[in-house]
A = this chain, B = another copy of it.
Amino acid sequence: MHPVNQRSRQEKSWTTRRDAKAERLARAARVTKGRVIPTDNIVEALELLLIPGDRVVLEGNNQKQATFLSKALARVDPGKVNRLHMIMSSISRPEHLDIFEKGIAETIDFSYAGPQSLRVAQMLEDGKLKMGDIHTYLELYGRLFVDLIPSVALIAADKADGAGNLYTGPNTEETPVLVEATAFRDGIVIAQVNELVDELPRVDIPGSWIDFIVVADNPYQLEPLFTRDPRHITDIQILMAMMAIRGIYERHQVQSLNHGIGYNTAAIELLLPTYGESLGLRGKICKHWVLNPHPTLIPAIESGWVESVYCFGGEVGMEKYIAARPDVFFTGRDGSLRSNRAFSQVAGQYAVDLFIGSTLQMDRDGNSSTVTAGRLAGFGGAPNMGHDPRGRRHSSPAWLNMMTSDDPLARGRKLVVQMVETFQKANRPVFVESLDALHVGQEAGLATSPVMIYGEDVTHVVTEEGIAYLYRANSLEERRQAIAAIAGVTPIGLEHDSTRTEQLRRDGLIAFPEDLGIRRTDAKRSLLAAKSVEDLVDWSGGLYEPPARFRSW
């Protein structure tokens, strides 16, 4: 033995995690039956398997929810299980926060808190919640392998077999990455399933990664988050969609892209088979998609626009349609969708030409946020996809089209588009002097302000007034002018010196509908390939089965 070694080394155990796990499993053996936790024993099992201070991943995607397990966790005795450090990509359900009120959990790391954003902010202010941090999905997944390695994962799947193999069906979402980080560091993985069967349609996660299966009292909750009823699409949204197609997608030859939730992008999807077709763009743009299976994409798929769709998760009602379109969607041998939120975020970050999103507020520099007074909504995946990934080294026509210099070291850019009407509901301006996010961030004691998309990452802003081509701005001053020129009668828009407008148009920094050959009067709902959910069902040949709340016929 080397002398240095003798000085430095200590006799120590290198299997503390494995031993702790074995101990927990032994302790829980009296309420489990081998790999199966009987449904009624779940609370007791959690009390035996969890210890105070554990880092626990609770599966709450923005769609699929491990409802049975989250409810059970809220029922454990805080005298036995407490100070948990929760990791939840989405805080979606009341009991996700109840566990903090009850003292079962203490610290939270999360990505998105849409439905619970008001309560999250209040609880932080009241000191009932200790903030780890707010992340995009992808960075949260990354940390699961670095400094947020889970002790326990509580996840949801459709079916399990006796060996613990899991079938997630169309809703694989983020389950694999949560399980992988936990299972391979001697953590405990508990999966709630809707049923236990002899043979699975396919295996989505191998049984040797799973410790316990519990059959839930009710199927896991699943939200149709990405369904937009075409009836609510307005003429203004159609005008903006026409501008986006003509002034961005066509101009820059956008072939691969991500669309998020929203009527703006639903309008684009529904204009491709009509307006897009009239421009002769089929087969030239919008061929490869990274997005959830939006029902409003059905007409474009049926019209032959779409070569591939890779999905973050599933969408309620789209199961049969997807299964009948394997040339377009990723499906397994059983015929159903295979989604994967982790790889979709990778693809959405690095492998597509364009991200297009919307926001509630934008400042004069183009910084934007969906965080508004008193609401700490988090980020989800938008910042991950809505920035220029500077590690990218491959090129595409759209990416190269963003180059504004002939410097031999110049490179392209990802297109990051913000599409907003100048005013929100209740006549609240979108373009504002200062983002509410700054104040909310301060109140919540965050280390940095919760900005969704930074202005320097935005290449285009589309409003009902026109398009600002921010990637062409040579200075912050030019960027501001271009934004103000399309900001309408908002505080920022009113600052605009209208004598500069013509110069900005000539320099290609802004374009109005007429500059793009679009007549405002043409922007009518009659242009939509489907005007209602019923139309979407028709387009799908009856394969799309919308949830009851979207049915009116």
User: Using a CB–CB distance below 8 Å, which chain A residues touch chain B?
Assistant: 1-2, 4-5, 8-10, 12-18, 109, 133-136, 138-143, 145-147, 149, 165, 177, 180-181, 183-186, 202-209, 255-256, 273-274, 277, 287-288, 290, 299, 302-304, 308, 310, 324-328, 330-333, 338, 340, 342-344, 346-352, 367, 379, 383-395, 400, 408-412, 438, 447-451, 454, 457, 529-530, 535, 538-539
Q: Which residue of B lies closest to A206 (CB)?
A: B203
| Closest B residue by C-beta to A277 | B8
Question: In the complex, what residues of B have CB within 8 A of residue A379's CB?
Answer: 393
Q: Verify B135–A393 contact, CB threshold 8 A.
A: yes
Number of this chain's copies in the assembly equals 2
User: How close is A289's CB to chain B, nearest CB, in angstroms?
Assistant: 8
* Contacts known (A208-B203, A383-B391, A390-B454); A327 close to B16, Cβ less than 8 A: yes
**From A132, which residue of chain B is reached at the shortest CB distance?**
B394
A interface, over-half SS:
loop
> Which residues of chain B are within 8 angstroms of A208 by Cβ–Cβ distance?
202-203, 332-333
| List of B residues within 8 angstroms of A328 by Cβ | 14
Output the least CB separation between A524 and chain B (Å). 13
**Among candidates B185, B408, B411, residue contacting A330 with C-beta atoms closer than 8 Å:** B185
Give the chain B neighbours of A149 by CB distance below 8 A: 308
Q: Is the Cβ of A133 less than 8 Å from the Cβ of B394?
A: yes
Q: Which 3 A-B pairs have the closest CB atoms?
A: A142-B351, A203-B206, A133-B394
In the complex, which residue of chain B has the Cβ closest to the Cβ of A394? B133
Contacts of A287 in B (CB 8 A): 147
Q: From known contacts A206-B206, A326-B15, A330-B145, infer whether A391 and B349 are also in contact, taking CB-CB under 8 Å.
A: yes
- The reply to whether B326 and A177 contact each other, CB–CB distance below 8 Å, is no
Once bound together, how far apart are the Cα atoms of A310 and B394, in whole Å? 27
Q: Nearest-CB distance from A426 to chain B (Å)?
A: 26
Shortest C-beta distance, A160 to chain B (Å), equals 13
Bound: A529/B109 CA distance, A = 37
**A206-B206, A330-B185, A332-B208 as given contacts; A387 in contact with B391, CB under 8 Å:** yes
Q: Name the distance in Å between A492's Cβ and chain B's nearest Cβ.
A: 16
A412 to B347, CA, bound (A): 25
Q: Cβ of B394 and Cβ of A146 under 8 Å apart?
A: no
- Asked whether, in the complex, the Cβ of B4 is within 8 Å of the Cβ of A529, the reply is yes
Which residue of A134, A139, A207, A391 has the most chain B CB atoms within 10 A of its CB atom?
A391
The answer to whether B17 and A326 have CB atoms under 8 Å apart is yes
Q: Are B448 and A184 in contact (CB under 8 A)?
A: no
A68 to B264, CA, bound (A): 51
Complex-state Cα separation, A164 to B328, whole angstroms:
26
Q: How many angstroms from the CA of A50 to the CA of B384 in the assembled complex? A: 37
- Given A204-B206, A451-B409, A346 contacting B391 (CB threshold 8 A): no
Least distance between A404 CB and chain B CB atoms (Å): 14
| B contact residues around A138 at 8 Å (CB) | 346, 350, 391
Can you sample 25 A-B contacts with CB below 8 Å? A5-B302, A5-B538, A9-B539, A14-B324, A16-B327, A133-B395, A135-B393, A136-B350, A136-B393, A139-B393, A142-B343, A142-B347, A146-B352, A147-B255, A147-B351, A184-B330, A184-B338, A185-B330, A203-B208, A346-B346, A383-B393, A384-B391, A389-B390, A393-B448, A409-B451
